[in-house]
Chain A
Amino acid sequence: MENYVPFLMVAFILFAIGAIGVLVRRNFFVVLMSLEIMINSAGLVFVILSYFSGTVSGQVFFIFVAAVAASETAVGLAIAVLMYRVRHTVDVTEFSMMKR
C-alpha cells in the first residue's frame, strides 16, 4: 500500500487556502471561489481515500459533492447579481447593516 499522506496533505492545504480565502477576501466572487476550493478539496479527500482503500464508492460520492458544489455556486452567483443590483458593489464588508 502506497503512502497516502502526501496526497492528503495536498487536500488539506487546499482546504486551508480556501478557508483563509473566505476569511480575508472581501470580493464576493473571490469568496465564492474560495468556497469552491474548500468543498472540492474535501471532495479530493474522498477520491484519495477511495483510491487507496480500493473501493469506488468514494469516487461516486465525489460526483455528488461536485454536483452540490455546482448548484451552490449557481445560487451564489444569483446572490452576487442581487448584491450588485441593490448596492452596486460586491464587496462583502459593505453589507454589514445588521449587527450587534
Chain B
Amino acid sequence: MSATTVHSSTTTPAMDKAERARIDESTRVPVLLFFGSAVFWLLAGSLFALLASFKLNAPHLLDQWGWLTFGRVRPAHLNAVAYGWASSAGIGVALWLMARLCRSPLRHSKLLICAAIFWNIGVLVGIGGILSGDSRSIEWLEFPNYASLMLFVAFGLIAVWAVIMFRFRQPGHVYVSQWYLLAAFLWFPWLYSTANILLNFEPIQGGAQGAVNWWYGHNALGLWFTPIGLAAAYYFIPKVLGRPIHSYYLSILGFWSLALFYSWNGMHHLIGGPFPAWMISASVVASMMMFIPVITTAINHHMTVRGNFGALKWSPTLRFIVFGAMCYTLASLQGILMAIPSLNKITHFTHYTVGHAHLGLYAFFTMIMFGSMYYITPRVVGWEWPSARLIRWHFWLVAIGIGVMVVALTLGGLLQGIALLDPGITFMATLDYTKPWLLLRSGSGILLTVGHIIFAISFTLLLLKVGKRRAGPTLFGTDEVRQPESIIP
C-alpha cells in the first residue's frame, strides 16, 4: 500500500472542491466556538495587559482595590492570553487542519463542544480565582486547582478526539503538520498533568519546584504552542502560494530534532539559581542544539516563499504567517543567545525576558494564529471578510505595536541588566533606567489593543454575514482563478 497517493486521477476539480467544502463545513461549530472564545479572551487579555502596564507607569492607579493589584492583574493577563486566547485559537486552527489533513469530515463534534465549554469555564473560573486571591503564584500554573482540573478535562477530550479522528482518516500520507499537531495534543496533557500534580495538587518540596516549574513552562512554549504554530505555517505557506514545501525531508527532520532537544531547555530559566550545575549545563547545551531545528525550519520556509515575497501584498494570510514564521526564527535565535551564561547574567530578572516572551508568543504564535484565522474562518462560515481595509489596519497596528514593544523591552531590559550587574549603581537607579521604556511599552500596548478590537469587529461582521455576497467558501473574490502576481514554481 502506498503512503503517497494524494488524490486519484478519477476525481475532478469540482469533486475535490465539493469534498473540501464538505470537510470545512463539518468543522464549523467547534472551530467557531474556539475562535469565538479566543477572540473574547484576546480582548480580555489585552485589557489586563494595558492595566498591568499602566500600573508600572503610575503605581497609584486603582490601588485601592486588591483584586486589581499588579500582582494579580499580571498573572490574569498571562493566563488569559496563554490559555484563553492562544490555546483556544490554536485548538480551533488545529481542529480544522486535522479535518483537512485527514481528508475526512470532522467526527464526534460533541466531544469538542464539550471541551470548548469546559475550557472556557476553566479559564473564566481560573482568572476569577487569580483576581480574588487564589493564585498559586507559580508562573504559567497560577490557576487554582478547581480551574486547572477543568482545563485538564477539556485537554483530555481533545486528545481523545484527535486520536479517533486520526484513526478514521483517509489512507495516504501523513503530512508534516499532522505530526506536529498530534504530538502537541499528546505532549500537552501529559505536561500539564505532571506539572500540576507535582506543584499544585501534591506539591513536592520547595527545593525541587523550580525545576518542575520551568520544565513545564518552557515545554508549554516549545511542545504546545510551537508545534501548533509550525503546523499552521507548514500548511498555509505552501497552500496559499500553491508551491509545495521546499524540502519535505528537512521539515520532518526539524520536527524530530525539536522533540529531541527542546525538552531539556527548561533549566535555562534558572541559570545561577540554587540547582545542581549539571542540570543547568545540560539545559544550556540543549538550548544551543536548538540551532538545528530552528535553522532547518527557517531555511525551509524561506526557500518555499523565495521569489514570491510579492505575495505578501495580496494575501492577508500570508502576510501574518510569514511575519510570524520570521519571528519564530528571531525569537528562537534570541532565546539561544539568552541561554549563554555570560549573556544570561545581564538579561536574567530584567524586562529583556518579557520582551523575548512577547516576541515568541505574540510576534510568532499570535501572528500565525491571526493569519490562520483569516484563511479558515471564511471557509467555515461560507462568507468573505467584509472589509479588506479592516484587515490591513489590523495588520499594521499589531505589527508596529509588537515591534515597538519588543524593542522597548529589549533596550530597557539591557540597560537594566547592565546596571544591575554594577553594585555601585543603586537599585533605585536601575529602576530609573527602565521607566521611559515601560512608558513606550504602554504606548505599544494601546496600538495592539486597538488592532485587536478591529480584528474582533471584523470577525463579528463576518459571523453576521455583513456586506455584499461574494463567492463560495473556498476562494476569495470571484470563482475564476485570480493571479495578481505570477507564482514562480
Partners in one complex: no
Which residues of B are at the interface with A, using a C-beta cutoff of 8 A? none
Which residues of A are at the interface with B, using a C-beta cutoff of 8 A? none
